[in-house]
């Protein structure tokens, strides 16, 4: 992981969602007291799929049980590092069983072809709509990249309790980050395909394809440029809503935010 200052989709989206959470995590470096089981399930599924994709790339076979073990091992590692929080009436065994069922579901899909990158880290420059390059680069980690006759596709894997809408794919900055990374690295505008493993009662796989153009890349640079100015100016404030606050690991320091300086400085030791 690179050490120089940089942006990523997660840092961009975190500031846009709640600047104060960005401040606690990325400026003060406060530890997270808890982590959602949904996040752990998603990251553990990602690790299992990465192992599977490497076997596909190398034209090797792997038994589903081996991928189950990869998933459980990844889950237990995170479990040993941080306290997990579960949804109402959800148990640890339920979550693990669900993760394994999603892996099994994905294995029924046609395997990807012409793989050129798996969990590939790409550091790329960002430019604004005026064509001016920003000082801080963008770091992207692509789940999977394929190429067919110079047509690049970035595959993004999601686990979700509901299906995604076409509007979500069209407006999210995540595909824009991927397209920027591929364009700066390979000289081509990629398309982005979401593969959503939907965690409904009867799990299913959803596919959504989205594209971006050069204007979108310049707009991404404009957004990041303004975020940099806001961070440098110390503009951090809470965005309070159920979506942000219900699973936020920084609820306690958030409630202390804005108090006298001596109390605020104590946040760094929380």
Residues 41 and 98: their CA atoms lie apart, in Å, by: 9
Question: H helices of 62-192, where?
Answer: 64-81, 92-107, 166-171, 173-186
pLDDT at 270: 42
Contacts of 85 (CB under 8 A, 6+ apart): 34, 35, 36, 37, 247
Average pLDDT over residues 229-254: 93
pLDDT at 89: 87
Model confidence band, residue 260 (pLDDT cutoffs 50, 70, 90): low
Average pLDDT over the chain, rounded to an integer: 93
**What are 262's two structure tokens?**
């001596």
**What are 52's two structure tokens?**
């599977």
Domain ranges across the chain: 33-111, 123-227, 237-269
Residues 72 and 75: their CA atoms lie apart, in Å, by: 5
- pTM: predicted TM-score of the whole model, two decimal places: 0.91
pLDDT at 269: 46
Give how far the C-alpha of residue 170 lies from the chain's centroid of Cα atoms, to the nearest Å. 16
Residues 240 and 76: their CA atoms lie apart, in Å, by: 32
């Amino acid at each position: 992981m690179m050490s120089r200052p940089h942006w990523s989709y997660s840092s961009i989206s975190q500031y846009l969602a709640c600047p104060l959470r960005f401040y606690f995590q990325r400026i003060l470096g406060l530890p997270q007291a808890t982590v959602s089981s949904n996040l752990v399930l998603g990251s553990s599924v990602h690790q299992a799929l990465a192992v599977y994709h490497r076997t596909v790339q190398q034209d090797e076979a792997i038994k589903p049980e081996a991928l189950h073990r990869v998933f459980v091992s990844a889950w237990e590692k995170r479990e040993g590092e941080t306290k997990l929080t579960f949804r109402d009436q959800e148990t640890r065994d339920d979550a693990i069983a669900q993760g394994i069922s999603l892996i099994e579901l994905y294995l029924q899909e046609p395997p990807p072809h012409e793989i050129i990158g798996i969990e590939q880290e790409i550091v790329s420059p960002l430019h604004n709509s005026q064509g001016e390059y920003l000082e801080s680069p963008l770091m992207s980690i692509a789940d999977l990249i394929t190429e067919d006759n110079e047509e690049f596709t970035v595959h993004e894997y999601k686990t979700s309790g509901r299906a995604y809408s076409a509007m979500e794919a069209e407006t999210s900055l995540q595909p824009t980050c991927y397209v920027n990374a591929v364009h700066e690295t390979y000289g081509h505008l990629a398309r982005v395909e979401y593969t959503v493993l939907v965690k409904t009662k009867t799990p299913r796989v959803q596919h959504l394809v989205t594209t971006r153009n050069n204007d979108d890349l310049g707009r991404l640079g404009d957004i990041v440029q303004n975020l940099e100015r806001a961070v440098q100016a110390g503009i951090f404030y809470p965005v309070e809503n159920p979506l942000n606050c219900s699973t936020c690991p920084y609820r306690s320091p958030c409630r202390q935010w804005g108090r006298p300086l001596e109390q605020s400085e104590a946040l760094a030791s929380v």
